[in-house]
């Protein structure tokens, strides 16, 4: 799994002109610690490790949205508040967007796992929720497989 994450996060394209997920440098350990202290306790460990390896990332993905911008670790909590998740979609945590219309969220309402879903930026509520994968690991696996890893 660590190898797959490194593969998703690699700086160099696999083939010329092919870029998967571009990443920013790793955040300072103090930034990661502050995030962990303030974030929900049941965020997927794979996501927390992903964000500790890069402070933000963006790129093509093999899901309907086609693109993701992972929110920077130092502003992801603010982004959740800005998008009204605590009020409108309690038990969910936004970790990125498609750059416009859709948010990518974790469903943290259950103790064993956090499915990845999407929801419209303008109407983040249960009625508009669309499941994508059963876990963040599965979400990353789809990105790796899209790149032929």
pLDDT 10s digits, 3-50: 555 554 544 444 433 557 899 999 999 999 999 999 999 999 999 999
- Residue 93 CA to residue 112 CA, distance in Å, equals 15
pLDDT bucket at 144, cuts 50 / 70 / 90? confident
Helix, strand, coil percentages (3-state) for the chain, rounded to 5, are 35, 20, 45
Distance, CA of 5 to CA of 149 (rounded, Å): 11
Compute how many other C-beta atoms are within 10 angstroms of the C-beta atom of residue 3. Answer: 9
Whole-prediction pTM: 0.84
- Please state the rounded mean pLDDT for residues 103-122: 93
């Amino acid at each position: 799994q660590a190898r797959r994450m490194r593969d998703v996060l690699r700086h160099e394209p696999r083939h010329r002109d092919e870029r998967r997920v571009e990443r920013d440098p790793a955040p300072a350990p103090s930034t990661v610690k502050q995030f962990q202290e303030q974030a929900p306790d049941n965020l997927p460990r794979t996501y927390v490790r992903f964000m500790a390896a890069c402070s933000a990332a963006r790129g093509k993905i093999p899901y309907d949205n086609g693109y993701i911008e992972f929110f920077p670790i130092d502003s992801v909590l603010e982004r959740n508040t800005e998008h009204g998740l605590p009020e409108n979609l309690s038990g969910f945590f936004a970790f990125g967007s498609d750059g416009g219309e859709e948010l990518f969220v974790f469903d943290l309402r259950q103790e064993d796992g956090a499915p990845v879903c999407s929801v419209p930026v303008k109407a983040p509520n249960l009625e508009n929720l669309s499941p994508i994968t059963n876990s963040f690991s599965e979400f990353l696996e789809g990105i790796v497989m899209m790149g032929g890893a």
